[in-house]
């Protein structure tokens, strides 16, 4: 399996976790941690409302339950984190300190996303050069997650938008063998 196929496969698993979180009356976020050799290591979902814990984001649930291997002395950066939405600032900090090598997310988040913000900040950018990242590599998966977020916001009387999708409408994205416009 090539890297692009692997990214799609594991983002779909993260989306499955997000769907479970939504069914549990939570925010529809899911995350997956994958070893360097491409094998699934851990999967989890947002549990903020189930645990009444504001730090129980999907990314942190995966990191907490994997910390022994992530922080093993001399382990280096050998894991990829797949997540449904761009990590917030809190999760971004945890990703950095967890020695994760790469982060891939299905949907950018201009509302509370923090990874691109931290990466673009001259004060912190140098710290993030060790982490590779891929933002919204598949338009169809971004639309699925955006629709879930809009549904969740409507159910919780929140007004938010995801202009990230609209920004890319004018760009053609490569998905599998076909080009398609989001």
Known catalytic residues? 59
CB 131 within 8 A of CB 115: no
Cα 32 to Cα 104: distance, rounded to the nearest angstrom: 10
Cα dist. 116→26, 41, 79 in Å?
25, 25, 19
Token pair for residue 25?
Answer: 């009356």
Of 59, 111, 61, 53, nearest in space to 87 by CA:
59
CA pair distance 64, 8, nearest whole angstrom: 24
Beta bridge partners of 56: none
Measured at the CA of 17, the angle between CA 11 and CA 130, to 5 degrees, comes to: 45
Instruction: Please report where in the chains the tokens 């598949």 appear, as a residue.
Output: 138
């Amino acid at each position: 399996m090539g890297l692009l196929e692997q990214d799609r496969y594991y983002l779909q698993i993260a989306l499955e976790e997000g769907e479970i979180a939504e069914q549990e009356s939570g925010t529809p976020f899911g995350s997956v941690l994958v070893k360097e050799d491409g094998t699934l290591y851990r999967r989890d979902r947002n549990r903020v409302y189930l645990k009444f814990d504001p730090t129980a984001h999907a990314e942190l649930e995966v990191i907490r339950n994997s910390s022994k291997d992530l922080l093993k002395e001399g382990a280096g950066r050998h894991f990829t984190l797949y997540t449904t939405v761009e990590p917030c600032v809190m999760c971004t900090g945890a990703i950095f300190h967890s020695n994760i090598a790469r982060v891939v997310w299905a949907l950018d988040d201009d509302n509370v996303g923090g990874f691109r913000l931290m990466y673009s900040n001259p004060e912190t950018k140098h710290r993030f050069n060790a982490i590779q990242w891929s933002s919204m590599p598949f338009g169809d998966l971004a639309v699925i997650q955006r629709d879930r977020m809009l549904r969740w916001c409507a159910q919780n009387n929140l007004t938010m938008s995801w202009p990230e999708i609209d920004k890319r409408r004018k760009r053609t994205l490569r998905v599998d063998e076909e080009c398609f416009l989001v």
